[in-house]
Amino acid sequence: MSKTTFSIIKADVGGYPGHARVHDELMEVAEKKLSESDVLINYHVTHCGDDLELLMTHREGEDSEKIHSLAWDTFQEATEKAKELGLYGAGQDLLSDAFSGNVRGMGPGIAEMEFTERKAEPVVAFLMDKTEPGAFNYPIFKIFADPFNTAGLVIDPSLHPGFRFEIMDIKENKKIMMNAPEELYDILALLGAKGRFVIKRVYPKENSKLPADEPVAVVSTEKLYQVAGEYVGKDDPVALVRAQSGLPALGEVLEPFAHPYLVSGWMRGSHNGPIMPVSQGDAKCTRFDGPPRVLSLGTQVKNGEFDEPADLFDDPAFDNVREKSADMAEYMRRHGPFEPHRLPMEEMEYTTLPEVMDELEERFEEL
């Protein structure tokens, strides 16, 4: 059987209100556009905060012109609707007027994985708002490399060999393959610097029962401000993770989100704050435009088809995490403009801070 590709392509093409969430009519435009396509096997349109998310399955492989142009046209049409409705920041993430075969580097975020379907194929989509691709380093590392998170790494012989990590240096535009558990400390030396080194993909090892060249997890790593050369919006990331039978169990995949770890990108892309795992209904950003949220949708893929995704954080088991996250948000907020709530100077994405510094420059005297 030919391989299946699962693609998430997402963009912020207008918020309602402000940068809080996506207007229902934008999702209706996308829903209609994708329903008319004959290249998709199935799709699901949703949003996380102000990001319009297209989840699609097909047989076209990664980086397919057909799929990318379908997504691009969908975002264009949604932008038209956003302008008509006077939504906030209409077309914000569409950085180019002309589509040239691939949306990579044009603004939208992409996580795509082509794989041979197993007898039963659980796939989990994670959608984040008000943060950056490096926000996935902590959970993806824990899922595939931390035995305190993933019991299977210790007790399931098929997970025991570990996994291979493809890590990108998003400043230098380079990548490196690293092995866990053999290189754990070196992997963490990179991944802890999450503004620079980000996990792009995870692969099985050669001796795994899964094909070693087919990814088991993928993260969108587009950095909008580097694409545009100046700040134009945020690079709110998405990821796909396959689970079970030789891979981490669904519960091991969700477990890292039981800790509301700190991520950057809150308010004006310039603050650190706790991630909050939420249900679809709460996937909107309110307090101080946040706190940063993560939504998790799980499904089973069969011959490329998938059913209405399950809303995995819509669960009282995550209530205490949300409460803790809200408490942490409060704690961080009390710091106001002070680091480490505010990001370090060199990471301020778009602010007047450089201008303030320029203006004060001549008033500084040598000591």
Among 19, 58, 164, 201, binds Mg ion (CB under 5 A): 19
**By C-beta, is 89 or 147 nearer to ligand F6R?**
89
Number of residues that bind Mg ion (CB under 5 A): 9
Q: Out of ligand F6R, Mg ion, none, which partner does residue 51 contact, by CB within 5 to 8 A per kind? A: Mg ion
Catalytic residue among 12, 50, 146, 235, which? 12
CB of 286 to ligand F6R, least distance (A): 11
Question: Does 132 contact Mg ion by CB under 5 A?
Answer: no
Q: How far apart are CA 287 and CA 230, in angstroms?
A: 26
Q: How far apart are CA 8 and CA 64, in angstroms?
A: 13
Catalytic residue among 234, 235, 236, 284, which? 234
Catalytic residue among 88, 225, 231, 350, which? 231
* Known active-site residue 12: yes
Q: Out of ligand F6R, Mg ion, none, which partner does residue 252 contact, by CB within 5 to 8 A per kind? A: none
With H, G, I as helix, E, B as strand and everything else as coil, classify residue 182: coil
Among 23, 30, 46, 51, binds Mg ion (CB under 5 A): 51
Q: For the window 87-116, what string marks contact with Mg ion as x by the rule CB under 5 A?
A: --x---------------------------
Q: Where are the alpha helices (DSSP H) in the chain?
A: 24-35, 65-85, 137-145, 152-155, 184-191, 224-228, 250-254, 266-269, 319-333, 353-361
* Known active-site residue 138: no
- Strands 293-302, 276-278: parallel, antiparallel or unpaired by DSSP? parallel
Phi, psi of 328 (to 5 degrees): -65, -35
Identify the burial level of 94 via C-beta atoms within 10 angstroms of its C-beta, where 0-12 means exposed, 13-18 middle and 19 or more buried: buried
* Known active-site residue 16: no
Within its chain, how far is the Cα of 140 from the centroid?
Answer: 11
Q: Name the residues that contact ligand F6R, by CB under 6 A.
A: 18-19, 89, 130, 234, 267-269, 289
Phi, psi of 242 (to 5 degrees): -90, 150
CB of 49 to ligand F6R, least distance (A): 7
Question: Does 50 contact Mg ion by CB under 5 A?
Answer: yes
Q: How far apart are CA 317 and CA 314, in angstroms?
A: 9
CB of 265 to ligand F6R, least distance (A): 7
Q: How far apart are CA 241 and CA 298, in angstroms?
A: 9
Residue 284: HSE in the Cβ half-sphere, 13 Å Cα cutoff: 12
Q: Out of Mg ion, ligand F6R, none, which partner does residue 255 contact, by CB within 5 to 8 A per kind? A: none
CB of 346 to ligand F6R, least distance (A): 18
Contact residues for Mg ion, defined by CB under 5 A: 12, 15, 19, 49-51, 89, 129, 236
Catalytic positions are 12, 231, 234
